[in-house]
Homo-oligomer: A and B are copies of this chain.
Amino acid sequence: MSQTTHQSARGVEHAATATEPNTARERLLQTAAQLFYGRGINSTGVDLILAESKVAKGSLYHHFSGKQALVLAYLQRERDDWQRSATASDDLTLDSGARLDALFSGVVHSVHAGTFHGCPFTNAIIERPDDAEVRAAVDGYCDQLRQHLAAITGESPTSALVQQLFIVYNGALTALKLTRDLEAVESARCLAQQLLHEQQAQRLRG
């Protein structure tokens, strides 16, 4: 999600997952991520990935068992990137409001960078609704997101507040994809702040 909802990784210099920078495998994964995310998984053939990454077909099948493995590696990388950039942009010295704000600012930045194409995991499960492996990756991402929201708010990942922020955040991404209007993000940001304030007011009272 790095390229999507957070300013980061792909495109910049970027040190990857700790792999050497310019191996065929790395170029492959990087190109696949761009194409899968930007044009869709199902409408991106391996031949296009090979042409754009300037990697030979043999190398692809040397490193990956097939396109499916490449898709899963792409989703795994999105998870890693999301985690990395979410925690990187999360300044623990700030208050909850500012930390929540950073989440939405990441989305805005990706729009300005022209790299926003929706949530990679939502996109993936829509393109491959019956794929158990994609489903597992999506489940993992949902847990990540909820835990991040829980950390910010100081609530449990299963709390009502986290659940609602989960909806507002995903609503922002979907509405933005639908309308291509950044107003959706601003409305969502504002709504999220409202919810946070209500929780804080309630804490003071209770």
Other-chain contact of A164, B39, B119, B191 (Cβ < 8 Å):
B191
Instruction: Tell yes or no: A126 within 8 A of B by CB.
Output: yes
Which among B123, B167, B187 is the interface contact of A188 at CB below 8 angstroms? B167
B-facing residues in A119-146 (Cβ within 8 Å): 119, 121-123, 125-130, 138, 142
Per-residue 0/1 for A146-186: is the Cβ within 8 Å of any B Cβ (1 yes, 0 no)?
00000000000000100110111111111101110001100
| CA gap between A191 and B192 in the complex, in Å | 11
Q: Is A40 an interface residue (CB 8 A)?
A: yes
Taking the full assembly, how many copies of this chain does it contain?
2
Q: Is A19 an interface residue (CB 8 A)?
A: no
Residues of B within 8 A of A118 (CB): 126
The CA of A142 and the CA of B181, in the complex, are separated in Å by: 12
Decide yes or no whether A43 CB sits under 8 A from chain B. yes
A117 at the interface (CB under 8 A from B): yes
Q: How far is the CB of A15 from chain B (nearest CB, A)?
A: 29
Q: How far is the CB of A77 from chain B (nearest CB, A)?
A: 19
A174 and B163 contact, CB distance less than 8 A? no
